[in-house]
Amino acid sequence: MEEIRARRLEKRSKAAASSRARKAASPRFEFQTRSEDDLLDDGFRWRKYGQKAVKNSTHPRSYYRCAHIACNVKKQVQRLSEDTSIVVTTYEGIHNHPSEKIMETLSPLLRQIQLLSRFSPDK
């Protein structure tokens, strides 16, 4: 539910800014989540490649890249300066592979379906 709302918000703010900046090719999505952990478990594996100090904030901004080969999705993680209990995660790009979490959930299910079809009576 939260995610859908964030997506809509992003779309609107992008339309408003498009006349000024028109170079970002990959879609960006921003999520704000109240969390103790900076790195949210989003089902993908990430590799940290940078960190930068944020003005007026004791929390740095961290940069991650998807750990999957040949995937260029990046994300930035930082705390909201007005409310540091909120983590702001910005995704840039779209994964060209399914998330590991989805595969983890699906594999036993697919195995079960295969098993069922093998014993199906109308064969």
* Residues lying near Zn ion in the complex (CB under 5 A): 66, 68, 71, 73, 95
Provide, rounded to whole angstroms, the least separation between the CB of residue 73 and Zn ion: 4
User: Would you say 57 or 99 has its CB closer to Zn ion?
Assistant: 99
**Identity of residue 60:** P
Measured from the CB of residue 94, what is the shortest distance to Zn ion in angstroms? Answer: 8
* Nearer residue to Zn ion within complex by CB, 79 or 89: 89
Name the minimum Å distance from CB 96 to Zn ion: 7
Q: How wide is the angle at C-alpha 80 spanned by C-alphas 92 and 74, nearest 5°?
A: 15
SS (H, E, C) 22-60: CCCCCCEEEEEEECCCCCCCCCCCEEEEEEECCCCCCCC
CB nearer to Zn ion: pick between 66 and 77: 66
Sign of CA dihedral 22, 75, 9, 27: positive
